[in-house]
Chains A and B, each alone.
Chain A
Amino acid sequence: EKTKTSFFTKLSKAVAGKSRVDDDVLDNLEEVLVTSDVGVETTLKIIERIEKRVAEDKYMGTDELNQILREEIAGLLSETHTGEGTDFELPGDKKPYVIMVVGVNGVGKTTTIGKLAHQFKNKGFSVVLGAADTFRAAAIDQLQVWADRVEVPIVKQKMGSDPASVAFDTLSAAKSKNADVVLVDTAGRLHNKVNLMNELSKVKRVMQKVIPDAPHEVLLVLDGSTGQNAFEQARQFTKATEVSSLAVTKLDGTAKGGVVIGISDQFQIPVKYIGVGERVEDLQVFNKYEFVDSFFS
């Protein structure tokens, strides 16, 4: 709060009589960031970073402010190497490379798995899906539809069976098939439900009976329209499963998904993918500059 005042004062002084940048611009900036779900704390952090830049660069016009902003916000993301990938890739050294997909209810886990399977398959990788959401009504059927659509094999059991057992079967099958990548779907769960979070840790442990260093990646899916609660989601899922990458979905709507800036900064987890629709091709590799630009469009 104190920094904010000093930022305003300094900036006003720095640009007094020299440009159009004034409190209005900054209020505006605050509004843009907060309404993009960046959150108050991260917004203040961004403003602070700009304050530093202004002091160093003797910044003047609003054009330059835009540029600085873009760089500084993207800077918060880049510390985690977010947005440095340009394609759907797999690190070559693990086979099969096991990705466990987690997240709260309805964010788009199953859909993202279908889309990812499609991308990996197009790259020539062999893919296996694991239907470890055995809880939600017709979750297995849903993943089956995606498996058929993308034409990749799926490992499943009956509804109500033990998700860890499905994961075990999936990894075993993938190993014997010599598959390149395994995508394991899990049931949506709210991060404040201790039993369900423990279940996730168990699924992970059981995977390691088949492949000792699996899962190689834990992908946390966040709904792009989620507000500040996404922070707690990232915190709790990381605690239970050591989340290593993020996907942000539903960015084809009007929501901006700005909360991932603070998350990626605070938890050092890179954002890898964005979902931009319900079709199989509606998944993109995250680009931080395009993302930041979308706040101001």
Chain B
Amino acid sequence: MFDNLSEKLDKALHVLKGHGQITEINVAETTKEVRRALLDADVNFKIAKEFTNKVRDKALGQNVLTTLQPGQLMVKIVKDELTELMGGDAAGIDLSGNPSVILMSGLQGSGKTTFSGKLAHYLKTKKNKYPLLVACDVYRPAAIDQLHVVGDQIGVPVYSDKENSDPVSLAKAGIAHAKAQGQNVVIIDTAGRLAVDERMMTEISQIRDAVQPQETLFVVDAMTGQDAVNTAKAFNDVLNFDGVILTKLDGDTRGGAAISIRSVVNKPIKFIGTGEKMDALDVFHPDRMADRILGMGDVISLVERA
């Protein structure tokens, strides 16, 4: 499907090259292909439309009649817009609290428990912190065991209490435990939940209110399709989260959900997950993500060839 995209852009850019200038017609042709590429990459329908309209206006507004390579300019406009949309440089994580409390949230299976472990490992090995993992998923079968296995793998303590089925009091007890043990970061793993599940959304906002986290993170699967906007918006409405974690980018998904989420909640993407192992975490680079979504590697080499 994506080879298709390169081909089409190739064609569209040839039109541009042939004319030697950007006219309204060939701009429309190119933006149409860009829009299709965005949709194939799972960028939300409305956002893709707005984005390409903006690109079109920008292309037409620029004084490009004298440009030697309008195709290249077009690609640059698209890429710049996309990178800008996805925010500036990688945003850090607030570790000012004592302990600093980090709360995970997200849909079922998005990668919260795994990322909790990865973040703990990262903070321990790269930032000289003493993290504590707190198991607040009292629903998923063996969720607590899973966090313990993860904790053992990275040598980070885990607080859990199988007798307690109230995530709010578990979270508070976890923080108390961290204070008593001198752990200076608390990472709270929570159950996966759907945005339409009112009871579960109330639960997580109660956890948030009870522990006042420095960072509330929304963990989302990079393969998510059009629904990413609905979910991100609903979680943000309830939690006003601080940042986004994009997981499973070691796959071959284009990851257009990143744009959708970014435009609808305007919160930074802080880390990405690139594997199942505990060191498979990376900081987020907007420009690389832009490349990935558009398959820009292909597009740029194509322009250079032309």
Residues of A at under 8 Å CB distance from B?
31, 34-37, 39-41, 104-108, 114, 135-139, 141-142, 144-146, 149, 159, 190-193, 223, 225-232, 250, 252-256, 259, 278
Tell me, rounded to whole Å, the shortest Cβ–Cβ distance linking A136 to chain B.
7
Q: How far is the CA of A244 from the CA of B276 in the complex (A)?
A: 27
Contact call A228/B145, Cβ cutoff below 8 A: no
Tell me, rounded to whole Å, the shortest Cβ–Cβ distance linking B199 to chain A.
13
Tell me, rounded to whole Å, the shortest Cβ–Cβ distance linking A67 to chain B.
24
> In the complex, which residues of chain A have a beta carbon less than 8 angstroms from the beta carbon of B196?
252-254
- Judged by a CB distance under 8 angstroms, whether B42 is at the interface is yes
Q: Among B74-82, B106-114, B161-169, B171-179, which stretch is in contact with chain A?
A: B106-114
- Judged by a CB distance under 8 angstroms, whether B70 is at the interface is no
Q: How far is the CA of A253 from the CA of B108 in the complex (A)?
A: 10
Known: A105-B276, A138-B149, A146-B141. A228 touches B221 (CB 8 A): no
> In the complex, which residues of chain B have a beta carbon less than 8 angstroms from the beta carbon of A159?
149
Q: How far is the CA of A141 from the CA of B146 in the complex (A)?
A: 9
Which 4 residue pairs across A and B have the least CB separation, nearest first? Answer: A227-B225, A106-B109, A227-B42, A145-B141
Contact call B108/A278, Cβ cutoff below 8 A: yes
Tell me, rounded to whole Å, the shortest Cβ–Cβ distance linking B248 to chain A.
6
- Judged by a CB distance under 8 angstroms, whether B256 is at the interface is yes
Contact call A35/B145, Cβ cutoff below 8 A: no
Q: How far is the CA of A75 from the CA of B241 in the complex (A)?
A: 43
Query: Among the listed B109, B148, B226, B228, which residue makes an inter-chain contact with A107, where contact means beta carbons less than 8 Å apart?
Result: B109
Q: Among B33-41, B121-129, B205-213, B262-270, which stretch is in contact with chain A?
A: B33-41
Contact call A278/B39, Cβ cutoff below 8 A: no
Contact call B225/A190, Cβ cutoff below 8 A: no
User: CB-defined interface of B134-158 with A at 8 Å, one 1/0 digit per residue?
Assistant: 0000011111011111100100000
User: CB-defined interface of B70-90 with A at 8 Å, one 1/0 digit per residue?
Assistant: 000000000000000000000
Could you tell me the dominant secondary structure of chain B's interface residues?
A: loop
Known: A137-B146, A138-B146, A141-B145. A36 touches B251 (CB 8 A): no
Give the residue name and chain of the B residue nearest to A254 (CB).
B230
Q: How far is the CA of A278 from the CA of B197 in the complex (A)?
A: 12
Contact call B42/A190, Cβ cutoff below 8 A: no
Contact call A254/B42, Cβ cutoff below 8 A: no
> In the complex, which residues of chain A have a beta carbon less than 8 angstroms from the beta carbon of B44?
35
- Judged by a CB distance under 8 angstroms, whether B1 is at the interface is yes
User: CB-defined interface of B198-228 with A at 8 Å, one 1/0 digit per residue?
Assistant: 0000000000000000000000010111111
Known: A40-B39, A108-B109. A31 touches B45 (CB 8 A): yes
| 14 A–B pairs (Cβ distance < 8 Å), ordered by A | A36-B226, A39-B39, A40-B40, A104-B248, A137-B145, A137-B147, A142-B146, A225-B224, A226-B221, A226-B224, A227-B224, A227-B226, A255-B225, A256-B227
Contact call B227/A229, Cβ cutoff below 8 A: no
Contact call B1/A231, Cβ cutoff below 8 A: yes
- Judged by a CB distance under 8 angstroms, whether B250 is at the interface is yes
Known: A142-B141, A142-B142, A253-B196. A259 touches B225 (CB 8 A): yes
Known: A136-B276, A137-B146. A226 touches B141 (CB 8 A): no
Give the residue name and chain of the B residue nearest to A226 (CB).
B223
Known: A35-B45, A105-B276, A142-B146. A227 touches B194 (CB 8 A): no
Known: A34-B226, A37-B225, A106-B111. A228 touches B1 (CB 8 A): yes
> In the complex, which residues of chain B have a beta carbon less than 8 angstroms from the beta carbon of A145?
141-142
Q: How far is the CA of A104 from the CA of B147 in the complex (A)?
A: 20
Give the residue name and chain of the A residue nearest to B111 (CB).
A106
Beyond contacts A40-B39, A137-B150, A144-B142: 15 other A-B pairs, Cβ-Cβ < 8 A, are A36-B226, A37-B42, A106-B111, A138-B146, A142-B140, A190-B248, A190-B251, A225-B224, A226-B225, A228-B41, A253-B194, A254-B230, A254-B231, A255-B231, A278-B108
